[in-house]
Structure 1
Amino acid sequence: MSFSTGGALRAIASPLSRFRSVEERIGILGFTLALVFAMSQSLWAHEFKVADIEIVHPWSRETPAGAKVAAGYLLVRNNGTEDDRLVSVSGEIANRTEIHEMAVDDKGVMTMRPLGEGIEIPAGGEVELKPRSYHVMFMDLRQAPKQGESFAGTLTFEKAGTVDIEFSVDAMGGASTHMDHDDHGG
């Protein structure tokens, strides 16, 4: 039995060489790329939609042990021609959830208050819930949000209705790769 070094090297160098035609090779490569793309979409996409409302990247921060509250943030776009209103939010990690506004007055005093009427989302506009501004307060936590995990939530809009979303959890007070995060809560 003779052994050809050149043939063995070609087989190792090209794992697709066992297929007879270029079309077979291209087909396998295309299928593999499509499969990888389809499987990774959930890693890239973190947007949700209901009617004309689009919710972009809901997120929260990990909380220290024993914390009773956590905050949630997201961007809401209204692609419609009528104003809408975010009227309520829920999260599986909390017994109670409210929409809040944090503001600093002209004397430098910070206030935080619940928005019982919700937040108006103007037609063709967007509202960002972010640190030191509008945000979601998860109160009486059932479980602490942990970095790298996610948790389910629900947003209810006056006109568009209800949409299930998922909040991703970033590091506690750390730098983030998402939108406009800072090291402060609320």
Structure 2
Amino acid sequence: MNLRRFTLLALGSLMVSGMAWAHPDAAHVKAENAWARASVPGQQASGAFMRLTAQEPLTLVGVESPAAAVSEVHEMKMDGDVMRMRAIESLDLPKGVAVDLKPGGYHVMLQQLKAPLLKDTQVPITLVFKDAKGELSRLHLQVPVRLTPPAGTAPAESGHMGHGAHQH
């Protein structure tokens, strides 16, 4: 009985110490000036924006949020004379280089909203990263919902397509 208890305790401590070796959540990515655009009742989608700086080369490979049925990383770019928005599978984050997710460029797209994103509330968003070894890590954020970008960030571009009108 004592040997069995010792074995279980030893296995338990190995599991805990093994978890300590796992890639720490978010210790390697800094998110600044995060905000999500407020929506109105009936609006099915909205965007979230931020500046990400990785402390090691990483790739943003996913987005999760309980506020939306579909969460993706999107890019907007000109295709001839037309601004197009599309989901992308990944976004490279070079070590130490700030990458802006902003209106009119790369951004987080929250689609099939479960409820309106109300001004002065927060929306939980989790960013999923992959490192050079293929290990996944997550950055859990509580993103403030606003009508406009926070001071000190790039203003929305005048030609920006409204997120509410975007559907796949």
Which residue does 1:111 correspond to in 2?
Answer: 84
Check if 1:85 corresponds to 2:59.
yes
CA deviations on 1:113-134 (whole Å, 9 max, x unpaired) are 1002x10001121211000000
Q: Give the alignment partner of residue 70 of structure 2, picking from 91, 96, 99.
A: 96
Q: Give the corresponding residue for 1:74.
A: 50
Amino acid aligned to 1:112: M
Moved over 6 A (4+): none
**More strand as a share of residues:** 2
Greater RCO (CA < 8 Å, at least 6 residues apart): 2
Give me the identity figure in percent: 26
Shift of 1:143: 1.2
Q: Which residue of 2 aligns with 1:61?
A: 37
Indicate if the aligned counterparts of 1:57 and 1:167 stay in contact, CA closer than 8 A: no
Structure 1, unaligned runs of 5 or more: 1-48
Partner of 2:153: 179
Q: Which runs of 5+ in 2 are unaligned?
A: 1-24, 164-168
**TM-score, normalised via structure 2 length:** 0.72
Q: 2:31, 2:106 → 1: CA distance?
A: 15
Offset from partner CA, 1:13-60 (integer Å, 9 cap, x none): xxxxxxxxxxxxxxxxxxxxxxxxxxxxxxxxxxxx713211113211
Shift in Å, 1:175: 6.5
> What RMSD, in angstroms, separates the aligned Cα atoms of the two structures?
1.9
When normalised by structure 1's length, the TM-score is 0.65
| Number of equivalences | 132
